[in-house]
Amino acid sequence: MAARRLRYCVNNEWRESKTTKYMPVTNSSTGEVIAEAPCCTVEEVNSAVAAAQAAFPGWSSTPVQNRTAVMFRFRALLDAHLDELALSVSTELGKNVEEARGDILKSIEVVELACGAPILMQGDALMNVSTGHDTVMYREPVGVFAGIVPFNFPAMIPFGWMIPLCITMGNTFVLKSASLTPMTSMRVLELLIEAGL
């Protein structure tokens, strides 16, 4: 049976790459090639960046409570799919299932932190910092971020350390999954889209 050719995602749309170069994704227990990850073309990468730039004005002006609502739903989906995601990490990376569960549980912890964005984004003010002058500090989204994921933490690093806080704070994000372990990131992205991103 031929390995499944993976796609890439832009604007919630899964697309076939026009590349001729694919990286094998193996089942770490058997060595079997279970998928092929595209080495996307420059044009495809640029289309992802352009989409993130185009989405930024609308997403950054979305009320923080609405962005946070996505994270609450995402957290529930991660919890509901915990066993499936742990098996995915274990299969493509080779961690034992309990360690793989830890990868997902650490992601959930940061998603929970991101759910506190209405508090985390609050600014500060100080009256009469000098005669006749007050100061006000705002926390604002800054733009498009990119994350390049190492192979050894396919869920925790992108969906724990990177994406939840970044997007809940109003930024947009371009993710480059690890070529050796992309399937977990792809599945978690599907759940994030299902949550309403």
Within the chain, where are the H helices? Answer: 42-60, 64-80, 82-93, 97-114, 117-120, 156, 163-168, 182-194
> Which pLDDT belongs to residue 117?
87
> Which pLDDT belongs to residue 73?
97
Helix (H, G, I), strand (E, B) or coil at 173: strand
> Which pLDDT belongs to residue 168?
94
pTM for the predicted model, two decimal places: 0.89
Q: Say if CB 35 and CB 6 are below 8 A apart.
A: yes
Chunk the chain into consecutive blocks of 10 residues (it has 197) and report each block's average pLDDT, rounded to whole numbers. Answer: 85 94 91 93 97 97 95 96 94 90 92 89 86 88 93 87 93 93 92 94
Phi, psi at 153, each rounded to 5°: -140, 75
